[in-house]
Amino acid sequence: MIRVSVVGAKGRMGSHVVDAVNGAADTQLALALDAGDDLKAITPENTDVVVEFTVPAVSLDNVLALVAQGVDVVVGTTGWTEEKLARVREAIAAGPRPESQKVFIAPNFAISAVLADHFSTQAAKYFESVEVIELHHPNKVDAPSGTAIHTAQGIAAARAAAGLGPVPDNTQTDGGSRGQVVDGIHVHAVRLRGLNAHEEVLFGNAGEQLVIRADSFDRGSFMPGVLLAVRKLAGDAPAGLTIGLDKFLDL
Ligand SMILES: NC(=O)C1=CN([C@@H]2O[C@H](COP(=O)(O)OP(=O)(O)OC[C@H]3O[C@@H](n4cnc5c(N)ncnc54)[C@H](O)[C@@H]3O)[C@@H](O)[C@H]2O)C=CC1
Ligand SMILES: O=C(O)C1=N[C@H](C(=O)O)C[C@H](O)C1
C-alpha cells in the first residue's frame, strides 16, 4: 500500500483527494492536514507521498518544508514561477535525499486539459493568430489559471521554435479587454457561477479557425491523474523536479 498524506485536505481539491486515496485499492490515507496543522507531523516513517493542494501564497513554503523532511511530494497548487521552481531544485539539492527526492508539479491533472495543452503546442506553428480563454468557478483565487499560463508558454515556445513572429494585433487602446499577455500570447479569464474548470484555445489563419477546448465539469475528473502521479512517485518516476502530467503519459 502507498501511504499518502494530504495537505490542504479540507479544501475543494484536497477533500476529493482524501476520498480518492481512501477509495483506491493500492493507497491508504496517512495524515490529512490543513491550515494551522504542523507539517512536521509528516515524516518518511508514516508517509510515502504527500499530495499538496493549498493556495499559491503558501505552496512553495509547504514544498520546501516537506523536501527538508525527506518526503516525496505531488503538487497541484498553482502559482509556480521560474524563480519558485529554482527554489525547489535548490531545496532538493540541499535536502536529506538529493539523489532520490521526487517532487512533481502539475498545472492540471485532468486528461482532457493535458491533451488540450499538448495538442495546442502541436498546432501552434501552423497558425498566425492564437488566443487562450480560461473559464472557472468564481471561488478561484488566481487569474489567469495555472493551466492557461502553461498552455500559453508552450504555444509561445512552439511558435518561437518555428520562427513565427508576434501574433497580429492592431489594438490602439486597451483598458484591459485584451487580457494578460503571457510570453506574447493573450490570455483571458472568465469567472462564472456554475462553471468548474474549462479552457479554450483559438487558432486563426486567413479564412479558417481551429478551436481546442477542454471541459472539466467535476473535480472527480482530476483524481485519476492525481493517483497516477502518486503511483509514479512511489514507483519509477525519476528523482528531482518533474513538471506536467504529460511526462507520465505516452503522448
Ligand atoms: N492541478 C490541478 O489539476 C488543479 C489545481 N487546482 C489548484 O489547486 C489549488 C487549490 O484549489 P482548491 O482546492 O479549489 O482551493 P480551496 O481554497 O478549496 O482549498 C485550499 C485549502 O488549502 C488550505 N490551506 C491554506 N493554507 C494552508 C497551509 N499553510 N497549510 C495547509 N493547508 C492550507 C485551506 O484551508 C483550504 O482548505 C489552487 O491553486 C487551484 O488552482 C485546482 C484544481 C485542479
Ligand atoms: O482553481 C481551479 O479550480 C483550477 N485550477 C487549476 C489552474 O489554475 O489551472 C487547474 C484547473 O483549471 C482548476
pLDDT, tens digit, 9 for 90 and up, residues 146-195: 999 999 999 999 999 999 999 999 999 999 999 999 999 999 999 999 99
Separation of alpha carbons 241 and 120, rounded Å:
24
Query: What distance in angstroms lies between residue 123's CA and the mean position of ligand 2's atoms?
Result: 23
User: Which atom from ligand 2 is nearest to the alpha carbon of 144?
Assistant: 8
> Going by DSSP bridges, is the β-strand pair 180-182/185-191 parallel, antiparallel, or unpaired?
antiparallel
The reply to whether ligand 2 has any atom less than 6 angstroms from the CB of 140 is yes
Q: What residue type is 232 in one-letter code?
A: K
Q: pLDDT tens across 93-107, in order?
A: 999 999 999 999 999
Residue ranges for the known binding site for NAD(+) are 8-13, 34, 76-78, 106-109
Query: What distance in angstroms lies between residue 148's CA and the mean position of ligand 2's atoms?
Result: 9
Residue ranges for the known binding site are 8-13, 34, 76-78, 106-109, 137, 146-147
Instruction: Look at residue 147 in the predicted model and tell me its pLDDT.
Output: 98
Instruction: Look at residue 74 in the predicted model and tell me its pLDDT.
Output: 98
Q: Is 251 exposed, middle or buried (0-12, 13-18, 19+ CB in 10 A)?
A: exposed
| pTM score of the predicted model | 0.97
Q: How far is CA 168 from CA 121, 127, 157, 188, in A?
A: 19, 11, 17, 17
Separation of alpha carbons 241 and 108, rounded Å:
16
**Interface ipTM:** 0.99
